[in-house]
Chain A
């Protein structure tokens, strides 16, 4: 059975801290791994990763994929209160028919 496991499930940090969120997966015919951010409403797309070892960056957020060890990490440096959200990891199968989500990591950043 395909699955995506995220850790930790929740995390509380202070503003300015750096955090690392983890995502491991077991998916038949892997195609890509995606990260989403969900604040109070709908998830919004952050990154798509298809190749191992190539870091994707957007401001203070960065992510990398290891296809050999079947995991990805999402780093957030110099956290701000606006980073408080649920971060979702999802894996797409080769046919593009199934995007399987992990349960998410709830990040709380206190000022």
Chain B
């Protein structure tokens, strides 16, 4: 089915472990984003990508790594998980304007990945 999917939907891990959250979209959207959502903070941008092999930091990038070797995939890796990274993570994509040059802001979100770090 077309759309944007995240996996796993739920994950429990321990402090210090590496965790990768996967994001896959079938629309060939240029832009992809990772947000985390925490009570009292709303949605905060971790990393974004304007195209394959182009990534940039958002508001809260520390402790996270991303890659985008293919347009449709945008994995987020926590290299050494900490309790403060317990959160709900949302991946989103955006088609951009004609030619994918600019992000319009209309994001299509995945269903979220709830990560608990013990």
Interface residues of A (CB under 8 A from B): 31-32, 34, 36, 41-45, 48, 88, 90, 92, 95-104
Chain B residues, CB < 8 A from A31: 105
| A102 CB → nearest B CB, Å | 6
Interface contact A101-B43, CB-CB below 8 Å: yes
Of chain A, the residue at the smallest CB distance from B56 is A97
- In the assembly, what is the distance between CA of A102 and CA of B107, in Å? 15
Chain B residues, CB < 8 A from A45: 106-108
User: Which among B90, B105, B106, B112 has the highest number of chain A CB atoms within 10 Å?
Assistant: B105
| Chain A, interface SS category | strand
Asked if B48 CB lies within 8 Å of chain A CBs, one says yes
- In chain B, positions 38-83 with a C-beta closer than 8 Å to chain A are 40-45, 48, 50, 56, 58-59
| A97 CB → nearest B CB, Å | 7
| B35 CB → nearest A CB, Å | 8
Interface contact B41-A34, CB-CB below 8 Å: no
- In the assembly, what is the distance between CA of A108 and CA of B48, in Å? 32
Pick from B45, B90, B102, B110: contact of A96, CB below 8 A.
B102
| B90 CB → nearest A CB, Å | 6
The 9 closest A-B pairs by CB, nearest first: A42-B109, A96-B103, A92-B105, A103-B42, A101-B43, A96-B102, A101-B42, A34-B105, A41-B111
| A51 CB → nearest B CB, Å | 14
Chain A residues, CB < 8 A from B59: 98, 100
Asked if B26 CB lies within 8 Å of chain A CBs, one says no
Asked if B104 CB lies within 8 Å of chain A CBs, one says yes
